[in-house]
Amino acid sequence: MIYKFFSSKKFILFSALIIILMVFVFQNNSFQKNFSQSLILNSLKGYESKKSVNCDIYFTLKDKETAEFTDIIVSTYLPHLKDDFNIKPNKPIIIIYPNKKEMKKAVNESKEAPMGAYCAGIIHILSPKSYLEDNVYKYYLKNGPVLHELVHYFIDEKTKGKYYVWFSEGAALYYEYKYLGCEWHKELNEKTKNITLDNLKKNFYSIDKTDAYRKSFEIIKSEMDGKYPDFICDLCKKYIKHSIINF
């Protein structure tokens, strides 16, 4: 009976359906993202939630105020980014981690905990209370990572996950420059001359992090401030279509 089943038309059809399902799962960015988000959110223990019209924020009690300020930041820049990218994405999900240990674990970072990170469709934020003692929220509003990670979220939504790392990092730094007036390591302008676009595309993580980010920003800024103000949005569209492009 077992042999007959494995050699039957039903088994062939069953196998074909399994293969189709597997292809769908591995190629469907939205499905993977939703699945990963569910796993991450279900793993949170002892976290509160704040669900506003702008975003869903998860935090521990010590960061209730941080969540309030985070919502203010999102509500400030979300309309601008919707216009810039010409999309209306789902509400972003934001998790605020109380300490560096939990942040590193969440984003799988073995070295230094980042202030912010975007992965699995979720914006991960390290509580500013973990690295600041004075003027915590004054700094957080002006220099915090929320806007930067929001841009990553918009690019991921716009391109359906099809983009180069250099592009997303450069765009995030550009919008910090545009809306916050912050320019990433301006003093490195001369040092990055020998870094090519091809280097950034193929070896981004092999280049010194600060230099790679700076060069990415310079390329984006050069296009956006020049004759191509729609560069970021147009490049997102080309990434979706897998067009043959120079960027």
Give residue limits of the domains in the chain.
37-161, 162-247
Strands (E), the chain: 48-51, 56-59, 93-97, 116-119, 122-126
Give pTM, 2 decimals: 0.84
Instruction: State the Cα angle at 146 between 142 and 150, rounded to 5°.
Output: 130
* Distance of alpha carbon 147 from alpha carbon 142, whole angstroms: 10
CB contact at 8 A, 77 and 150: yes
* Distance of alpha carbon 139 from alpha carbon 72, whole angstroms: 14
- Non-local CB neighbours of 13 within 8 Å, separated by 6+ positions: none
| 27 half-sphere exposure, CB direction, 13 A CA radius | 6
pLDDT score at 3: 45
The first and second tokens of residue 199, run together, are: 């280097």
How many Å is the Cα radius of gyration of the chain?
A: 21
The hierarchical CATH code for the domain 37-161 is 3.40.30.160
Lowest mean pLDDT of 6-15, 159-168, 181-190, name the range.
6-15
Name the average pLDDT for the chain: 87
Q: Is residue 94 over pLDDT 90?
A: yes
The pLDDT confidence band at residue 239, using thresholds 50, 70 and 90, is confident
Lowest mean pLDDT of 65-79, 139-153, 230-244, name the range.
230-244
Specify the higher pLDDT residue, 195 or 7: 195
pLDDT in tens, 220-234: 999 998 778 889 999
CB contact at 8 A, 97 and 59: no
The first and second tokens of residue 52, run together, are: 């506003």
Which of these, 6, 102, 109, lies nearest to 59 by C-alpha position?
102
The pLDDT confidence band at residue 110, using thresholds 50, 70 and 90, is confident
